[in-house]
Chains A and B, each alone.
Chain A
Amino acid sequence: MTDEAPVLLELRGASKRFVKPLDLVDRVSRLLGASVHAETVHAVENVDLQVRQGEIVGLVGESGCGKSTLGRLVAGLHTLSAGSRAWRGADYSGPQARLAGTAVLPIQMIFQDPYASINPRMRVLDIVGEAPVAHGLVPAREQRELVASLLQQVGLDGSVLMRFPHQFSGGQRARVGIARALAVRPEFLVCDEAVAALDVSIQAQVLKVFLQLRERLRLTYLFISHDLGVVRYLSDRVVIMYLGRVVESAPADELFGHPNHPYTLGLLRAEPGLEARKRRFIPIQGEIPSPLNPPKGCHFHPRCEHAQARCREQAPPLREIAPGHHSACHLNG
Chain B
Amino acid sequence: MDRSAPSPNDGAPVLDVRGLTTEIASRQGVLRPVDDVGFSLHAGEVMGLVGESGCGKSMTAYSLIGLLDPPARIVAGSVRLRGQELVGADEETLRQVRGNRVAMIFQDPMMTLNPVLRIDTQMIEAILAHRPMPHEQARTLCRQALERVGIASAEQRLRSYPHQFSGGMRQRVAIAIALLNQPDLIICDEPTTALDVTIQSQILHEMQGLCEETGTALLWITHDLSVVAGLADRMCVMYAGRVVELGTTSRVLTRPRHPYTRALLASAPARHARGQVLSQIGGQPPSLARLPPGCAFAPRCERAGADCAQLPVLRRVVEGEVRCHRPVGEDAVVRGGAEHP
Contacts and interface: CB of A to CB of B under 8 A. Distances in A.
A287 interface: yes
Nearest to A211: B275
B164 interface: no
B267 A274 contact: no
A201 B53 contact: no
In this complex, the interface size class of chain A, counting residues with CB under 8 Å from chain B, is 35 or more
Given A62-B197, A204-B269, A232-B270, A274 B253 contact: yes
B226 A62 contact: no
Contact of A201 (B232, B277, B280): B280
A287 B205 contact: no
A199 B52 contact: yes
A267 B198 CA distance: 6
Given A208-B280, A232-B270, A273-B270, A280 B166 contact: no
B272 interface: yes
A272 B233 CA distance: 15
Given A203-B267, A229-B226, A277 B250 contact: yes
- Interface SS of B by simple majority: helix
Contact of B249 (A228, A267, A276): A276
Interface in A143-170: 169-170
Given A200-B225, A278-B1, A272 B201 contact: yes
A252 B274 CA distance: 9
A200 B267 contact: yes
Interface string A251-287: 0110000000000001101111111111111111101
B224 interface: yes
Contact of A278 (B226, B231, B252, B265): B231
A288 interface: yes
A311 interface: no
B150 to A, nearest CB: 9
A176 interface: no
A268 to B, nearest CB: 10
A273 B197 contact: no
Given A171-B284, A281-B201, A274 B271 contact: yes
B169 interface: yes
Interface string B203-238: 011001000000000000001111101111100000
B226 A266 contact: no
A275 B269 contact: no
B69 interface: no
Contact of B340 (A234, A275, A288): A275
Contact of A229 (B205, B223, B269): B269
Contacts of A272: 197, 200-201, 204, 224, 226-227, 229-230
A211 B275 CA distance: 8
A201 B201 contact: no
Nearest to B228: A272
Contacts of B264: 200-201
Contacts of A235: 274
A234 B272 CA distance: 10
A285 to B, nearest CB: 8
Nearest to B275: A211
Nearest to A263: B198
Nearest to A303: B198
Contacts of B265: 274
Contacts of B1: 278
B110 interface: no
Task: Give the interface centre of A201, A234, A275, A280 by most chain B CB atoms within 10 Å.
Answer: A201
A178 B263 CA distance: 25
A230 interface: yes
Q: Which of A207, A211, A283 gathers the greatest number of chain B CB atoms within 10 Å? A: A283
Given A274-B271, A283-B198, 16 more contacts: A201-B281, A202-B284, A203-B269, A269-B201, A270-B198, A271-B226, A272-B229, A274-B229, A274-B268, A277-B229, A278-B232, A279-B230, A282-B201, A283-B201, A287-B166, A287-B168
Q: 10 closest pairs, A vs B, by CB?
A: A276-B253, A270-B201, A233-B269, A204-B267, A283-B202, A229-B270, A272-B226, A62-B196, A199-B52, A281-B205
6 contacts: A199-B285, A200-B52, A200-B267, A204-B278, A272-B201, A274-B225
